[in-house]
Structure 1
């Protein structure tokens, strides 16, 4: 039995040597990393927690006012978007001639595009012009969504 075990251990001796050298090299890298970290901290010291600016302390009365009675602020609309604009006669053929906010103009144009299935099948960012939209698009057969907003803005007063 002793002869067989000794033979097996001899066969694994190169593997043990490789494992030990691997562990040594790994511990060397860990040692180098810790040295680098210490050196880096010496050159770039971080502020201590006492040196950091402390948050202002609220009085007990202020805390109860803001948390208990404050309702969530209602979002207000931007006045520039809500200002009514008048479409030109060319654009009025698509969305109507009444003055309306820019947001409504965009909504009505997209309703028209979807209702008439004018988005390109392969590239959904492209809009195909029909006979009503062609004058709005400056005679082009197809424009991108981003170019469309630019061309529509030119048709508003």
Structure 2
């Protein structure tokens, strides 16, 4: 009986380990880019441009939606809020997005240094930017707007 339990525990731990490894994505690997390569082989530039453009559109849409929510929020919606705090939040978010884009581009440059002078730099660069954009979408969704957190205590 103990042997069976140990085997089951080992199997569960192995499955958990495999699942954890599967979730760790490589920055230079993207499903969309892989599909472009699979479909178009080395003639994939237009497809890569399209998937990167779609990723940029999703990011910009989420950014603008959050920015508009911040702009539409009344300072009365948060504890002792005022117009100056709202203006600072708007200015900060806009500056943060610009700096984040600079960071993304710089990060991908460093993360992909081994691809320099490679025929696959464009594919890796596209994957990196798509993956970073996905992460930024998650970050933007974490920004709390008072009207979205009603009833919650900080």
TM above 0.5, yes or no, is: no
Q: TM-score range by the shorter chain?
A: under 0.3
Greater relative contact order (CA < 8 Å, ≥ 6 in sequence): 2
**TM-score normalized by structure 1?**
0.23
**TM-score normalized by structure 2?**
0.24
Larger CA Rg, structure 1 vs 2: 1
